[in-house]
Chain A
């Protein structure tokens, strides 16, 4: 039994995958010279956030309506660590990720007891509790937020105040995050997650402790969302309440939905669309909330597969994904 015979489709898509990754890398390298760098950095942070969220929704089938807590929470932790404790940026990011993971563990422990909409409601309520905590805690400075966070020197040597250095750092974090997400979804663990999403009872009957796997996925997703939030705090040099509010949780859902749930690049595309839209709407005459609300409704009614999903469903897309021939 040769492996090639077993998975011919996988082999074909691998080649295309490499090509896609190459295109992505080139885009990443060129972007700051074409588009405004801070915008690209913001986009990358949100793209990573959406991809982390999608790890949970698209691969474990869990809709969290409270992911902003991890994103914004990590931003606070990192900002505080860097500004008040004087940690180097990489350590600051680590603190943010650790904080988000701990938070994820606590929220996840309660939330995974229920499924579906119940899960969504519980995450929403718990995230809201965290929002109130951030509002009142001293270290977050209420509605001022933690401002003027120094970017500092990476490993004490690379000065992140240089825009290109900062961009490089964000790009590396983004790539590392995406690689991690890819690795997790395409791993033995990811296979178990998929099986749980497909049929939880069956998975249980095969001896899989469904709860622990879901919790692990939840914590991983929270940690990666935290990585995105921590990085964003360094990019913008502040951490504020907007990133922990439930509107942000809604926004990341929109990004994922718009791009395509359960695909690797969907959330990235969705994040790009939403961030660009928000930026564009800021100086246009269209009220942003209305446009975003309507986009949400249209997505749910008309393109539930999202931009990437709909593209993949076309013949050209199927070919690209290497599934067209069967």
Chain B
């Protein structure tokens, strides 16, 4: 058996794959966060709550409307996205002229309120949500047994990240978005309804978080606490990637997932700190983050 630093190669490959799966969630979440930050200059502290909301909506759809995973995959992000759009219209749009810190503080309060409400109604132990029938079972890859659902998560999240990236980099709508990031006033002067675009963008970011939530529901316990635990790590991902850089967020998401996976093999005690350590090092060497534009 081939060994790498005292760990069998096969096991290592398995762990790398697992890291990639984790990275998929980081990437999906940081993608939404980066889009919101890139255009709205708002650190969306409620992103974790919106992720949780996605998972909960999926659960509620199943429990009360009998709508299963595949339906939820479409509906839940839509619902979370619409809720996000409403929040943007009602509240966030009033904060754009102020210091960006107020956006951070508002979404912080929002996160507390959403999570608190769900904890109040549903407790914190969580709700059951099973892997969809079509994706149960596992496949032997030789070096590890990969549950089919995990395979789906990697493929789907990669597809979504690429699709979102393409939509933003290659379409007319994306061109509006990118242009509005640079100079919203001028884009408005060209006749584009930028306020609507902003509302849509926040909705899109929230929907991406919701989508990640639905995808997480069969793997992670659907609990009101699921978002607050992951959000800080995702912040670190976005800071390392370079705030506002969409590509940076996605690439860093996968990369840090892998780093974390490796740490779990070689020094598991540090696996929750490793991301912050990387962040500190990156900030020392490249204050703007790995993919950040301005120095």
Q: Which residues of A contact B (CB under 8 A)?
A: 63, 110, 113-114, 116-118, 120-122, 124-126, 128-129, 132, 136, 246, 250, 253-254, 257, 287-297, 299-301, 304
Contacts and interface: CB of A to CB of B under 8 A. Distances in A.
B102 A121 contact: no
Given A122-B283, A287-B116, A301-B94, A117 B109 contact: no
B110 interface: yes
A297 B110 contact: yes
A120 B117 contact: no
Contacts of B100: 116-117
B111 interface: yes
Given A116-B100, A297-B91, A304-B102, A124 B109 contact: no
A293 B112 contact: yes
Interface string B275-292: 011011001100100000
Contact of B280 (A110, A246, A250, A300): A110
B276 A289 contact: no
Contacts of B117: 287, 290
Contact of B239 (A116, A122, A289, A292): A122
B235 A257 contact: no
A121 B108 CA distance: 13
Contacts of B243: 117-118
Interface string B257-295: 000000000000100110011011001100100000000
Interface size class of B (residues with CB under 8 A): 35 or more
Contacts of B72: none
Contact of A117 (B43, B116, B272): B43
A250 B43 CA distance: 14
B95 interface: yes
A128 B113 CA distance: 22
A114 B286 CA distance: 11
Contacts of B277: 129
Given A120-B101, A125-B279, A292 B43 contact: no
Main secondary structure of the interface of B (DSSP, over half): helix
B190 interface: no
A15 B248 CA distance: 57
A14 B14 CA distance: 70
Given A124-B232, A125-B276, A132-B272, A117 B104 contact: yes
A110 B113 CA distance: 32
Nearest to B232: A128
Contacts of B279: 122, 125
Contacts of B102: 300, 304
A162 to B, nearest CB: 39
Count chain B CB atoms within 10 A of each CB in A113, A250, A288, A295 and give the residue with the most.
Answer: A250
Contacts of B119: 287, 289
Contacts of A113: 283-284, 287
Contacts of A122: 239, 279, 283
Contact of A301 (B91, B111, B239): B91
Contacts of B269: 136
B276 A292 contact: no
B104 A126 contact: no
B113 A289 contact: yes
A297 B104 contact: no
B165 to A, nearest CB: 23
A125 B239 CA distance: 10
B200 interface: no
